Chain A
Amino acid sequence: MTIVRRRTPPVLQILRTVLIADDEPSMRLLVHATIESDDYAVVEAADGAEAWAMVQKHKPSLVLLDVQMPERTGIEVLRSIKADPNLNATKVILLTSKAQESDVEAGLIAGADFYLTKPFSPLDLLTRVEEALQL
C-alpha cells in the first residue's frame, strides 16, 4: 500500500503497488508500459538488492521478478519474500529467459505464483497481473 499523488487538482488515493524488478532498462520500459493502470501504482528496481529494499519499503501486492539479476538473483529475492510473515499477501510472477524446466521448477517450489518465459506476450502478462490482483 502506498499513497500517490497524481494529476491536478491533487486527489488522494490509497493504492496498491506493483514492483517491476529487471536489470535491463528496455525490459522495465516494456513491462511498465504494458501494465500501466489507474488501479495501482508501479515502482521499479534495477537489481536484486534494490528489489528487496523496494519490497520492504512498499510492501507491494505483486512483484514482477526477473530471474537473472546482479547482486541477488530473482530466486533469492523470492525466497526472502516468502520467508517474511509481513509479506504473506505479496504475490510474485517470475520472468525468466531460461526455458529450462529445472529453473522454472526451482521458482515455483520457492513459491512463485506464476512464471513467464521471455520473449512473452505483453497481453498475456497483463492478464496474469490482473488475475494476481483479482481486478
Chain B
Amino acid sequence: MVQRQREGEIRPDRRGWSLRSYMALFMVVLLAVAAVAAFSVRFMTELDARQAAVADTNFAAEKAAALLKSGFDQINDLSIPLSKDPSIGQLFADPTKCKLGYAPLGAFKTGRMDLVRLDGSVVCSSSKAAAPGGASPYNSQSWLSATAPIVVAPVLDPVTGGQVVVISYPIAGKGALVWFLDLVPIGPFLASEFGSGTHSLEFLITGENNQAVIARSIDSAQWVGKKLSAAPSASTSSNAGSPDLNDTNRIYGASIRNAAGWHLYVGADEAEALAVADLSANRFLVIILIGVGAMSLVVWVAYRRVAEPVRRLSLVMRGSTAEQPASVAVGAGAREVTDLAEDFDKLMATITHEEADRLATEEKVADSERNYRSLFESNPQPMWLYDIHTLAFLRVNDAAIARYGYSRDEFLAMTVKDIRRPENVPKFLQLTAHPPAFAKTGPWTHLMKDGSTLEVLVTSHAVSFGEKEARFVMAEDLTESQRLELELHQSQARAEASAALNRAKDEMVSLVSHEMRTPLASIVGFTELLTTREVTPEQRKEYLSVMLQEGHRLTALINDFLDLRRIEGGHMTMSFAPADIGALIKRVVEVFGKSGRSVVTARLADHLPLVRADSDSIFRVVANLLSNARKYSPNGGAIVVSAASVDGMVEISVQDQGLGIPADALSHLFQKFYRIDTADRRAIRGTGLGLAISKNIVEAHGGTIGARSAGPGLGSLFYFTLPVGREQSRAGDVLVVEDDSGFAHLLQAELATREISSVWAADAETAEQLLAKNGARAVVLDLLLPGLSGEAFLQRLRETYGPSIPVVVITLKDLELSENLALQQLGVTGVLRKGPGISGAAADLIENALAAQLVAR
C-alpha cells in the first residue's frame, strides 16, 4: 500500500525525467514527422499534377467541341433554309443576281461557300478563287452525288489544293450549296483559344474510325490529311501518359465524338506537368528543412535559459532564511525565471519597508488636496462649481468675485442662469440638458453686477461635489485673437458654401449641355445630309419635319432652363395679390382641357377663400400639372382638377387614371431632368424641367407640392397648397382690377402718392369676391381680363351695387362708338387708353371722383 503524502512534498518515485531527456525525445519525434511529410508531399504532388492535367484536357476538349459545334450549327442555320428556298432556281438561271459572302463561323476561321451545278461547275462563290464559268472543277467529286447534307473530311480542295472539310447541302435537281472550310488553321486556333497554359496542350481531331488527321494544333500543315495507324489511347486510372504522333509522352483525357463522327483528343505534355510537381515538392522540402533547423535552435536556447538558472535558484533559496535574507540576483535566464528571482528579492524588501511607506503616502494625499484647493482659489481665471440639477453656484473663486463684482454670498445665492442675458437662457438650458463630460463652448455673453456684459469662452467638466452632481466651469475672456479666429471660421464656412453652390452650377451646365446635344445632333446631322446628298421629296419632307420637331424641343428646353435659373436665382419677381383660385382653375381647363382623349373636369369646393398668389405663375403650375396628366394618360381616362380648403391653406390637385408612378420614383419627380425610364413612357417627350419649375413657384408662394400614386398603371395625383390671402380682411379705397401686374403696381403707387389706399385683383372673379367682402369707394377696371370680361364685370357691379361707385375704365384697343356708348350707359367716370403716363391720369380721375363723393355727402 502506498502511504498518503502530506501536501507540498514530492514523492521520490514521481520525480520524472530530466529536462534534457524531454528535449532529446522532442527532437527525435520532430525529425520523424519531417521525414514522413517530405515523402508524402512528393507522392501527392505528382498525383495532383496528373489529375490536374486530365482535368485541363477534359475542360479544353469540351470547349473546343463547343466551338466546333457552334460553327456547324451556324452553317446549318444558314444553309438549310437557303438550299430549300423555292426561288433559288433563279440564281442558277441568272448567276449575276447571286452574291455570297463569308464571315468566320465558330472554329472555322477561313473558307468559302460555293453554289455548284450538278455537273460540278460553279454558279457563284464567295471567293474569287472559284470563279464561275470556265471548267467544272468539282466534276465527279463523290459528295456531289449525295442526296442529303453531307460532311466529308479531309478532302484536297480541287480549286486551292489545300486540305478542307466539305459540307454539301444538295439542291434537288440543280446542284448543291457547298462549304469549303480550311482545316489547317483549326488546330492552332483551338490552341490559341486556351492560351499556352501550364501544360502545353495538343488538340487532335481525327475522322471516323480514326483513319486520318482532320486537325492538329502541333505542326498543323504537316499532319492534316495524314493517315493514322492508331488513335491516341485515353488516360488510364493512374493517369499515365502515352506517346503522341511525335512520340512525346502525353496525358490524354476522354475523347469526344461529334455528330459528324469526328473524334476530338486533347493531350497535356506529361514531362512538363511532372516538372511542375517536382518543383513544388522540392520547395516544400526546403521549407521542412528550415522548420526543423529553427525548432532545434529554439529547443537549445530554451534548455540553456530555463534549466540552468532554475537549478542555481533552487541552490541559493535552500540557504536563505527570514532573518538573513539572501539576494538571488540570477543573471541571464528566461524572463519567467528572472521574474521569479526578482520577486523573491522584492518580497524580502517589502516586508522591511511597508510601515514607513504607509506614513509617507498619507502625508502626500493631504499635500495634494491643499495644492488643488489653492489652484482653484487663487487661480487668476474666474472659476466656479454649480449643481447641474438646481443650477445653483456651489463654490466660486476669488477671481470670479473680482471679475463679476458679486460678493461670495451673493454668488452662492444665485443660479448660473442669473449671469446670462434672458434671451440666451433657453439656448443655455438646451445645452446643459445633456451635458457632455467635457465641453468648450462660446462665445457667451455674461452679465456682471453693474449691468455691463462680458464676452467669454467657457470650459466645463462634469465633477462630483460631495453627494451632488456638479460641473466645474472656467470662464475665459474672449481675446481679440480669438474673436478674429471665430470670424475666420465663419467666413471659411461661407466660402465652402459658395464653392458647393458653384460645383452644383457646373454639374447643371454639364447636364444641360448633355440634354441639348441630342436635338442638336439631329438638326446638324440632317442639315448636312440635305446639303450633301440627293434626296427624294418625301425624304426631304421627313427630314425637315424631324428637324423642326427637334428645334422646338431645343427651344422649349432653353426656355424652361432659363425660367428655372431665373426663379432659382430669385430674379423672377412674383406679384402676390388676392386671387380666386377657382376662376383660375376654370380658365386653365378652358384653355387646355378641350383637345385630346381625356375628359377634364374641375371639381371646386364651395366658398373657397381667396389665396395669396402670383396669378400668372400659378396658372403655369396648374397648366403644367394638367398637361402632364394628359401626356401620361395615353389611353385617355377622366382627369379631375380640384381645389379645397385644408388647414388654413387651399389644396389644388390634379388626378388622372394614366400610367401611374413607381413608389421608388416618387421622391425624385421634382428633380431637374429626372425621367422615369420604362418602355410605355419612352415615346412621351418633355424637357424634364416642368415639375422643377412648378416646385420652385409653389415654394416661393410658401406652399408645398407633392405627388401620390398607388403604383404603375393606377393613375397619379399631383397636389400643391397655397396660403389663404391675408389681404382679404383689409379694405381699400380703390379696387384695381387689372391682369397686368406691372401696370397694377404703377397705378397703386400713383394712388398712394395721393394718399389713396388700394387693393389689387388680377381678374374679375377675384374682384367680385373682394367687393362682396370689403366693398370699395371706387374701381379702376381693365376691360381685357382673363376669364370674365371687364364689360360683364361692370354690368354685374351696377346690378348689385347701383350707380354710385365711380369706375374708371382702361382699355388696350380703340373702342367702337357703340362700345363707348354702352360704357357711358353703365355710368363710367372715364375711359382711358393704355399708354405712357396713363396711370397718373387714372389716379387723377379717381382722386377727383372721390372728392366729388365727399362734397355730395
Closest residue of chain A to B73 (Cβ to Cβ) is A86
- Once A1-B78, A30-B529, A33-B529 are accepted as A-B contacts, the answer to whether A70 and B103 lie under 8 Å apart by CB is no
Verify A86–B106 contact, CB threshold 8 A.
yes
- Once A15-B101, A34-B525, A47-B679 are accepted as A-B contacts, the answer to whether A26 and B87 lie under 8 Å apart by CB is no
Contact with A along B516-535 (1 / 0, CB 8 A): 01111111111011001000
Q: Does A113 contact B (CB under 8 A)?
A: no
Mark the stretch among B30-38, B321-329, B543-551, B640-648 that contacts chain A. Answer: B543-551
Bound Cα distance A23, B100 (Å): 33
Verify B522–A97 contact, CB threshold 8 A.
no
Verify B82–A119 contact, CB threshold 8 A.
no
Do most interface residues of chain B lie in helix, strand or loop, or is the interface mixed? Answer: helix
Q: Does B104 contact A (CB under 8 A)?
A: yes
Verify A119–B67 contact, CB threshold 8 A.
no
Verify B528–A122 contact, CB threshold 8 A.
yes
Q: Does B635 contact A (CB under 8 A)?
A: no
Bound Cα distance A87, B771 (Å): 78
Verify A86–B528 contact, CB threshold 8 A.
no
Verify A26–B78 contact, CB threshold 8 A.
no
Bound Cα distance A24, B81 (Å): 35
Verify B78–A23 contact, CB threshold 8 A.
no
Mark the stretch among A6-14, A75-83, A104-112 that contacts chain B. Answer: A6-14
**Contact with B550, one of A12, A15, A26, A98 (Cβ below 8 angstroms):** A26
Q: Does B539 contact A (CB under 8 A)?
A: yes
Smallest CB separation, A53 vs chain B (Å): 13
Closest residue of chain A to B77 (Cβ to Cβ) is A1
Bound Cα distance A3, B550 (Å): 35
Contact with B along A1-38 (1 / 0, CB 8 A): 10100000111111110000001101101100110000
**Contact with B104, one of A34, A89, A120 (Cβ below 8 angstroms):** A89
Verify A34–B518 contact, CB threshold 8 A.
no
**Contact with B82, one of A9, A12, A23, A47 (Cβ below 8 angstroms):** A12
Smallest CB separation, B97 vs chain A (Å): 5
A30 neighbours in B (Cβ, 8 Å): 521-522, 525-526, 529, 546
Closest residue of chain B to A24 (Cβ to Cβ) is B518
Verify A27–B522 contact, CB threshold 8 A.
yes
Q: Does A46 contact B (CB under 8 A)?
A: yes
Q: Does A102 contact B (CB under 8 A)?
A: no
Q: Does B90 contact A (CB under 8 A)?
A: yes
B546 neighbours in A (Cβ, 8 Å): 26, 29-30
Q: Does B311 contact A (CB under 8 A)?
A: no
Bound Cα distance A122, B543 (Å): 13
Considering only residues 739-774 of chain B, those with a C-beta below 8 Å from chain A are none
Verify B543–A97 contact, CB threshold 8 A.
no
Verify A97–B101 contact, CB threshold 8 A.
no
Q: Does B682 contact A (CB under 8 A)?
A: yes
Q: Does B677 contact A (CB under 8 A)?
A: yes
Closest residue of chain A to B547 (Cβ to Cβ) is A26
Verify A123–B532 contact, CB threshold 8 A.
yes
Verify B103–A1 contact, CB threshold 8 A.
yes
Q: Does B85 contact A (CB under 8 A)?
A: yes
Considering only residues 433-461 of chain B, those with a C-beta below 8 Å from chain A are none
**Contact with A61, one of B74, B103, B193 (Cβ below 8 angstroms):** B103
Verify B677–A70 contact, CB threshold 8 A.
yes
Verify A11–B103 contact, CB threshold 8 A.
no
Verify B103–A119 contact, CB threshold 8 A.
no
Q: Does B514 contact A (CB under 8 A)?
A: yes
B550 neighbours in A (Cβ, 8 Å): 26
Q: Does B730 contact A (CB under 8 A)?
A: no
B103 neighbours in A (Cβ, 8 Å): 1, 16, 61, 89
Verify B90–A121 contact, CB threshold 8 A.
no
Best-buried of B528, B539, B682 by chain A (most CB within 10 Å): B528
Q: Does B70 contact A (CB under 8 A)?
A: yes
Verify A88–B518 contact, CB threshold 8 A.
no
Bound Cα distance A123, B175 (Å): 44
Number of contacting residues on A, CB 8 A?
36
Bound Cα distance A85, B69 (Å): 13
Bound Cα distance A82, B520 (Å): 31
Q: Does B99 contact A (CB under 8 A)?
A: yes
Closest residue of chain A to B683 (Cβ to Cβ) is A25
Closest residue of chain B to A46 (Cβ to Cβ) is B682
Q: Does B88 contact A (CB under 8 A)?
A: yes
Verify A10–B87 contact, CB threshold 8 A.
yes
Contact with B along A47-67 (1 / 0, CB 8 A): 100000000000101000000
Bound Cα distance A71, B676 (Å): 11
**Contact with B529, one of A34, A70, A88 (Cβ below 8 angstroms):** A34
Q: Does B316 contact A (CB under 8 A)?
A: no
Closest residue of chain A to B193 (Cβ to Cβ) is A85
Smallest CB separation, A119 vs chain B (Å): 4
Q: Does B152 contact A (CB under 8 A)?
A: no
**Contact with A118, one of B81, B91, B520, B677 (Cβ below 8 angstroms):** B520
Smallest CB separation, B718 vs chain A (Å): 23
Bound Cα distance A30, B293 (Å): 78
Closest residue of chain B to A50 (Cβ to Cβ) is B679
- Once A11-B90, A11-B97, A85-B193 are accepted as A-B contacts, the answer to whether A118 and B67 lie under 8 Å apart by CB is no
Verify B682–A70 contact, CB threshold 8 A.
yes
B106 neighbours in A (Cβ, 8 Å): 86
Bound Cα distance A13, B78 (Å): 12
Verify A26–B529 contact, CB threshold 8 A.
no
Verify B521–A27 contact, CB threshold 8 A.
yes
A13 neighbours in B (Cβ, 8 Å): 99
B529 neighbours in A (Cβ, 8 Å): 30, 33-34, 122
Verify A120–B521 contact, CB threshold 8 A.
yes
B679 neighbours in A (Cβ, 8 Å): 47
Bound Cα distance A33, B538 (Å): 13
Bound Cα distance A88, B423 (Å): 77
Bound Cα distance A119, B524 (Å): 7
Verify B682–A86 contact, CB threshold 8 A.
no
Smallest CB separation, B42 vs chain A (Å): 39
Bound Cα distance A85, B543 (Å): 39
Smallest CB separation, B387 vs chain A (Å): 62
Smallest CB separation, B194 vs chain A (Å): 11
Bound Cα distance A11, B90 (Å): 8
B519 neighbours in A (Cβ, 8 Å): 26
B520 neighbours in A (Cβ, 8 Å): 118-119
Considering only residues 79-100 of chain B, those with a C-beta below 8 Å from chain A are 81-82, 85, 87-88, 90-91, 97-100
Closest residue of chain A to B681 (Cβ to Cβ) is A70
Considering only residues 157-216 of chain B, those with a C-beta below 8 Å from chain A are 193
Closest residue of chain A to B513 (Cβ to Cβ) is A99
Bound Cα distance A46, B67 (Å): 31
Verify A119–B85 contact, CB threshold 8 A.
no
- Once A1-B101, A23-B682, A85-B67 are accepted as A-B contacts, the answer to whether A97 and B532 lie under 8 Å apart by CB is no
**Contact with B549, one of A26, A70, A85, A120 (Cβ below 8 angstroms):** A26
Bound Cα distance A30, B522 (Å): 7
- Once A12-B91, A26-B549, A27-B518 are accepted as A-B contacts, the answer to whether A123 and B543 lie under 8 Å apart by CB is no
- Once A27-B518, A118-B518 are accepted as A-B contacts, the answer to whether A14 and B532 lie under 8 Å apart by CB is no
A119 neighbours in B (Cβ, 8 Å): 517, 520-521, 523-525
24 contacts between A and B (CB under 8 A): A3-B81, A11-B97, A12-B90, A12-B91, A14-B82, A14-B100, A14-B101, A23-B682, A24-B518, A27-B521, A33-B529, A34-B525, A34-B529, A46-B682, A59-B74, A70-B682, A86-B70, A89-B103, A118-B517, A118-B518, A118-B521, A119-B523, A121-B528, A122-B528
Chain A positions near chain B (C-beta within 8 angstroms): 1, 3, 9-16, 23-24, 26-27, 29-30, 33-34, 46-47, 59, 61, 70-71, 85-86, 88-89, 97-98, 118-123
> Closest 9 A-B residue pairs measured CB to CB?
A119-B521, A118-B521, A70-B677, A97-B517, A119-B524, A26-B522, A30-B525, A11-B97, A118-B517
**In the complex, given contacts A33-B529, A89-B103, A119-B517, what are 10 additional A-B residue pairs having Cβ atoms less than 8 angstroms apart?**
A12-B87, A13-B99, A24-B522, A26-B522, A26-B550, A30-B525, A88-B104, A119-B520, A120-B525, A121-B524
